[in-house]
Structure 1
Amino acid sequence: MDGQDSEDPKQSTADMTVFVQNLLQQMQARFQTMSESIVTKIDEMGVRINELEQSINDLRTEMGAEGSPSPLPPSKNPEEIKPEEGSA
């Protein structure tokens, strides 16, 4: 019986090692999949941002070509505007 007792801890250690290795491999595969998914989504967002910038530039060009005035009045510098009321 002593022979069996000495083999059980070795077998148990080997089983635990295999289990941990498999678990680590599964975790690595999942992290790799998530990483690739995140990179793909970031790339897609970059493409969308570039398309949006191009659309904005196209709209600016159209507005400039039509000779229409800017929809926003020229803004005044807030430092130039000094309230006179309530000054002590």
Structure 2
Amino acid sequence: MDGQDDAKQSTADMTAFVQNLLQQMFWLEFLNKAALDEMGNRIDELEQSINDLRTEMGQEGSPSPSAPAKIKEEPKSGGDSC
């Protein structure tokens, strides 16, 4: 009956191994999902920062409606030279 005991032990070992493997796979999947969620959040924050910078640049780059347009003055010829 030694063979039967060895078979039962082998089956028990295999069952424990598979359960352990499945548990590790579950945790890895859970951790990967958490990492992907965190990466997604960081990408969202980065996109928002880029959009904020674009908005700021657009506002700074265009003259405000109340500011008069600058007119380039030609240098005057005359006796003002030093």
**Normalization by structure 1: what TM-score?**
0.69
Number of corresponding residues: 69
Question: Displacement of 1:63 after TM fit?
Answer: 6.6
* RMSD between aligned residues: 1.9
Q: Which residue of 2 aligns with 1:36?
A: 37
Shift of 1:66: 5.0
Report sequence identity in percent. Answer: 12
TM-score by length of 2: 0.74
- Which residue does the alignment assign to 1:78? none
Residues 7-58 of structure 1 show CA distances to partners (whole Å, capped at 9, x for unaligned) of 0000000000000000000100010000000111001000000000000001
- For structure 2, list consecutive stretches of 5 or more residues without a partner in the other structure: 72-82
Unaligned 5+ runs, structure 1? 70-88
Moved over 6 A (4+): none
Counterpart position of 1:19: 20
Structure of larger gyration radius = 2
Deviation per residue, 1:49-87 (Å, 9 max, x gap): 000000000101247845358xxxxxxxxxxxxxxxxxx
- Structure 1 letter corresponding to 2:26: Q
